[in-house]
Amino acid sequence: MRTSLPDIYAAGDICTASWKRSALWQQMRLWTQARQMGWYAAKCITADLLGQDIEMDFCFELFAHITKFFNYKVILLGKYNAQGLGTDHELMLRCTKGMEYVKVVMQNGRMMGAVLIGETDLEETFENLILNQMDLSQYGENLLDPNIDIEDYFD
């Protein structure tokens, strides 16, 4: 988070992440990322003052953003819009009118991203599935079957 000037650090919208990025994270200049970068900049400053090395913060492993839109909870995870995946991916959808919308981005049987709108209760499970990169090929469309409690299945 250090700039080219001595003792000057930057975070949020005014800087561009120049570290080796995780395949599941991208910079989007959102308030959630600005806050995470601010916390990480503070850790970097402290480590620098103490002469210590610092590890990359876990929050930069997976892109995640949570907000509300028209009173619906909206969660974006990983490569939620297939960013950078080319044409070698597939989308799976589940939609319950007026209640929820779930979109999952799959590539080579692995979950790469998701859009969750409404009270789906899938965010933690999907975050773990994206991070673990478990091969989900065998589950196919059943992965989004509302009658299957995948939170418990993958717990």
pLDDT tens by residue, 4-55:
888 888 888 787 777 777 777 777 777 888 888 888 888 888 888 898 988 8
Say which amino acid occupies 137. S
Same domain, 52 and 112: no
pLDDT at 75: 93
Q: Do 43 and 97 fall into the same domain?
A: no
Task: Indicate yes or no: pTM above 0.95.
Answer: no
Total number of domains constituting the chain: 2
Per-residue pLDDT reduced to its tens digit, 69-124:
999 999 999 999 888 888 889 999 999 898 999 999 999 999 999 999 999 989 99
**Residues 146, 71 within the same domain:** yes
Q: Do 107 and 137 form a contact (C-beta atoms < 8 A)? A: no
In a domain, 109, yes or no: yes
* Calpha distance 95→50 (Å, rounded): 51
pLDDT confidence bin for 155, thresholds 50/70/90:
low
How far apart CA 48 and CA 122 sit, in angstroms, is 39
Using alpha carbons, list the distances in angstroms from residue 144 to 17, 135, 149: 34, 15, 9
What's the confidence (pLDDT) of residue 92? Answer: 94
Determine the average pLDDT of the residues in 123-151: 87
Q: Which domain holds residue 76?
A: 64-153
Give the mean pLDDT of 118-139.
91
Please check whether residue 27 lies inside any domain of the structure: yes
55 and 69, same domain (yes or no) = no
* Higher per-residue pLDDT: 118 or 65: 118
Residues 93 and 20 in one domain: no
Place of tokens 């990983």: 78
Residue 117, SS3 per DSSP: strand
Q: Are residues 92 and 130 in the same domain?
A: yes
Please name the residues in contact with 110: beta carbons below 8 A apart, sequence gap of 6 or more: 133, 134, 135, 136
- What are the start-end ranges of the H helices in 7-153? 31-50, 123-132, 150-153
CATH at 110: 3.30.390.30
